[in-house]
Amino acid sequence: MRRTEDKSLVARRLAAALTLAVGAALAAATAAGGCGKKDARPAVRFLEGPDSGGGWKEILARFKAVHPEIDVELVEGPAATNTREDMYATALLSGDTTYDVVYMDVIWVPKFAAQGWLLPLDERLPPAEREKFLPGDMRGSTWEGRVYRVPMQSDAGMLYYRTDLLAEPPETFDALVESAGRLQQPPGLWGFVFQGRQYEGLVCGFLEILWGHGGDVLDAQGRVVLDSPEGVQALTWMAGLVKRIAPEGVATYQEEEARHVFQEGHAVFMRNWPYAWTLAQAVDSPVRGKVGICPMVHAQGRASAATLGGWGFGIAKKARHPDAAWTFLSFATQPEQMKLLHFKNGAIPARRELFKDPEIVAKSPHYPDLYRVLLAARPRPVHPAYARISDALQVHVSAALVGTETPEAAIRAAAERIREAVGR
Amino acid sequence: MKRYLYFAPAAALLGGVLALPLAIGLARGTGHWGALFRDAALPRIALTTLSFAGASVVLELGLGLAFALLLHRTFRLRGPVRAAALVPWALPTAVMAMSWRWIFNDTYGLANDLAVRLGVLERGIAWLGRPGTAFAAIVVADVWKTTPFVTLLLLAGLQSIPEDLYEALSLDGAGPILRFRMVTLPLLRPALALAVAFRLIQALGAFDLVWVLTGGGPADATRTIALYIYDQQFRYLDSGYAAALTGAFGLATLALAAGVGRWVRGSSAS
């Protein structure tokens, strides 16, 4: 990458030595405590969010029963995914071996792979095995033809609607606006809520609308095609929602704000992730038993699309025991473990067969519908500069929503910034 | 010789955790300084940062001076009132910013509720959903949070002004306004300069407040330079440019704070 690497390495070593010296002096002064367990590190360590349901701990216990010789440690990090991304990136960037296994959001894959931080897994995961995972999750695990991630949890955006207010969900953008406009009675009941704050979630929602209009950000050759007539149509439709069928405040909503409005019964439609279904159907939810899900609507003659989320395992290139790491992650991504994580932590399995699993369908009757959504799920633009692409979209889609830019100008400006980002 | 020895551990620590990383950062950024001038997004972000810092520091000085003058007088319960005035400053910024996010919420926020009840607004608005009001919101939250800090500095300055100067002026028949102009303001200048310098440095580098309250939106109207540097380093993995930005920004901040501080302090000499 940069040629200043060697110089900064020396400087970094110097800094480390100095810090060590200071640290040693401090430690000596305080009469050293128990810091002699330097080599008692587990063979495999990875970072995840808080294990809220206890599913991960049980998976680790199961693994220990089968493979007592491999010690696995789960570091429970912060719930905010961007913070965990920073933690992984900092560790991998400095080349240390804090984490052997990388539990990755689908959008990290190209960035981490392009940096050379990950081990390709093609040989370990033969094509016949890949077939068993949801197609979008597998595509999102691949970078420049090589597989870097084994999917564990899937996720995709979709449309929620109130089954007590309409019998059949709409299929097209026009039909959505029509029925939302007909049924709404603002401010008590709005037509449609979604994630409109300037952040990653805004891009996810916009991409579904863009794809549903037949547009895209990059084409198959990686050229920027955002500023097409379809792109302008998509953003024009989205910006037109605000104040007509969506509250003005939608420009400040993230997932939870939208869910609160919908769950309190103040919206007919909502764009959100699958997690909201369980909460909206909870015993104390005012809309319990009145919630339906379907794929996001699409333009006449086009197909629905969902933005793919989801998590999976990669192996760090500098992992000390890559074989042990592989043993662990192939165990963790078996159907039984995915089921466990589903029941304990509410994770959506990434294997196709589990959507027909009688136990899962008995507890989650919406899973066949969810399967339809997940099959239509597409990864966000797969590019190492995705963060820049996302920021360009965030800024200009937000500007169109709040009316400081026309949809045409916003699309043009975003496309220009994305060209700069992919061109460099 | 001995005193240098005593100084050594502190110097080593500061050198190791502050000076050395700073030097490495500046060295790393050297190849990227040119990019600062080609960055089309930078002027607007710099302007947003300056406007935010300017607006909040001016408001904080005005309010802080008023509060300090009030708290300087003797009245019953002065102790508890002084302590209470410090509460906003003692709160962690992220927690405070989260509360402001609720206050400015469009559907159940306090700001809308009050405005509608008082008849100022007919219907609630999405404060954080419009570029202008979102910018005002981060200024308001920052002023609320850091006015106590300015108050504290100015109060300390007020207490260092000898009482007999006021008495002497009173004997000469000077009223309260004249006493304020002749004694309070000139003698308060060092404290004012200190407050301006401290607050400018903090406000120009504001991150947590903006991050939680608006995330830089809507339409990038509240994106400050600190958010931008974070993106360069952690999201774009462009350490070189992040280092150049940090270096340039750090130097500019110091220069600005020193210049403004000197101006506030210095114009008393005339």
Residue of B nearest to A91 (CA): B234
Whether B27 and chain A come into contact, CB under 8 Å, resolves to yes
Residue of B nearest to A385 (CA): B236
Interface of A with B in 249-278 (CB under 8 A): 249-252, 257, 261, 266
pLDDT in tens, B215-251: 998 999 999 999 999 999 888 888 889 999 998 999 8
Q: What percent of chain A has pLDDT over 70?
A: 90
Question: CB distance A399–B220 less than 8 Å?
Answer: yes
CA atoms within 13 A on the CB side of B2: 0
Q: Which domains does chain B have, with CATH numbers?
A: 41-266 (1.10.3720.10)
Question: CB distance B237–A86 less than 8 Å?
Answer: no
Closest Cα of chain A to B217: distance in Å? 5
Residue of A nearest to B228 (CA): A391
Please list every residue in chain B whose beta carbon sits closer than 8 Å to the beta carbon of residue A186.
none
Residue A40 pLDDT level (bands cut at 50, 70, 90): low
Closest Cα of chain A to B188: distance in Å? 41
Give average pLDDT by consecutive 10-residue segment, chain B, 270 residues.
84 90 82 88 95 96 95 88 89 93 90 93 91 96 96 94 89 88 90 93 94 92 95 88 91 91 70
CB environment A143-164: b (16+ within 10 A), e (fewer): beeebbbbbbbbbbbbbbbbee
CA-based radius of gyration for chain B: 22
Closest Cα of chain A to B240: distance in Å? 9
Q: Name the one residue in this structure whose structure tokens are 């239509």.
A: A376
**pLDDT in the model for residue A29:** 41
Please list every residue in chain A whose beta carbon sits closer than 8 Å to the beta carbon of residue B237.
89, 93, 111, 115
Query: Which residue of A115, A249, A405 is in closest CB contact with B126?
Result: A249
In this prediction, residues A326-352 reach a mean pLDDT of 94
Query: Which residue of B31, B126, B217 is in closest CB contact with A198?
Result: B217
Question: CB distance A250–B28 less than 8 Å?
Answer: no
Nearest alpha-carbon partner for B232 in B219, B222, B218, B246: B246
Query: Which residue of A15, A85, A391 is in closest CB contact with B24?
Result: A15
- Give the pair of three-digit tokens for residue A368: 């066949």
Question: CB distance B217–A199 less than 8 Å?
Answer: yes
Which residue type, as a one-letter code, is found at position B56?
A: S
CB environment A219-255: b (16+ within 10 A), e (fewer): eeeeebbbbbebbbbbbbbbbbbbeebbbbbbbbbeb
pLDDT at A3 > cutoff 80: no
What are the angstrom distances between the C-alpha of B168 and each of A302, B84, B179? 86, 34, 10
- Give the pair of three-digit tokens for residue B192: 């004012």
Whether B39 and chain A come into contact, CB under 8 Å, resolves to no
Residue of A nearest to B26 (CA): A8
Contacts of A404 (CB under 8 A, 6+ apart): B131, B219, B221
Please list every residue in chain A whose beta carbon sits closer than 8 Å to the beta carbon of residue B32.
none
Nearest 5°: the CA angle A172, A178, A393 is 60
pLDDT at A34 > cutoff 80: no
Question: CB distance B218–A391 less than 8 Å?
Answer: no
Residue of A nearest to B11 (CA): A22
Strand partners, A154: A310, A348
Average pLDDT for chain A: 89
In this prediction, residues A280-285 reach a mean pLDDT of 90
Sign of CA dihedral A129, A132, A137, A138: positive
CA distance B31 to B250: 17
ipTM of predicted complex: 0.83
Question: CB distance B126–A252 less than 8 Å?
Answer: yes
Please list every residue in chain A whose beta carbon sits closer than 8 Å to the beta carbon of residue B107.
187, 247, 249, 261, 266
A128: burial class by Cβ within 10 Å (0-12, 13-18, 19+)?
exposed
Interface test with B, best of A195, A398, A420 (most B CBs within 10 A): A398
Which of the 8 DSSP states describes residue A117? -
Contacts of A151 (CB under 8 A, 6+ apart): A133, A134, A137, A138, A140, A141, A310, A311, A312, A333, A350
Residue A329 pLDDT level (bands cut at 50, 70, 90): very high
pLDDT in tens, A103-116: 999 999 999 999 99
CA dihedral of residues B8, B12, B13, B19 (deg, nearest 10): 130
Closest Cα of chain B to A388: distance in Å? 7
**pLDDT in the model for residue A28:** 42
Question: CB distance B220–A395 less than 8 Å?
Answer: yes
Q: Which domains does chain A have, with CATH numbers?
A: 44-155+308-378 (3.40.190.10), 157-307+381-423 (3.40.190.10)
Query: Which residue of A15, A385, A402 is in closest CB contact with B219?
Result: A402
Which of the 8 DSSP states describes residue A375? H
pLDDT at A19 > cutoff 70: no
Whether A87 and chain B come into contact, CB under 8 Å, resolves to no
Q: What percent of chain A has pLDDT over 90?
A: 76
Whether A12 and chain B come into contact, CB under 8 Å, resolves to yes
Question: CB distance A398–B220 less than 8 Å?
Answer: yes
Question: CB distance B24–A388 less than 8 Å?
Answer: no
CA distance B143 to B154: 16
Residue of B nearest to A384 (CA): B236
- Give the pair of three-digit tokens for residue A185: 């009675």
CB pairs under 8 A between A and B: 117
Nearest alpha-carbon partner for B141 in B182, B178, B100, B109: B100
What are the angstrom distances between the C-alpha of A255 and each of A137, A196, B17? 21, 9, 39
Question: CB distance A385–B236 less than 8 Å?
Answer: yes
What are the angstrom distances between the C-alpha of B61 and each of A21, A383, B64, B151, B188? 44, 48, 5, 8, 12
CA distance A369 to A375: 10
Interface test with B, best of A252, A383, A418 (most B CBs within 10 A): A252
**pLDDT in the model for residue A6:** 46
The pTM of the whole model exceeds 0.80: yes
**pLDDT in the model for residue A414:** 97
Which residue type, as a one-letter code, is found at position A314?
A: G
pLDDT at A252 > cutoff 60: yes
pLDDT at A374 > cutoff 90: yes
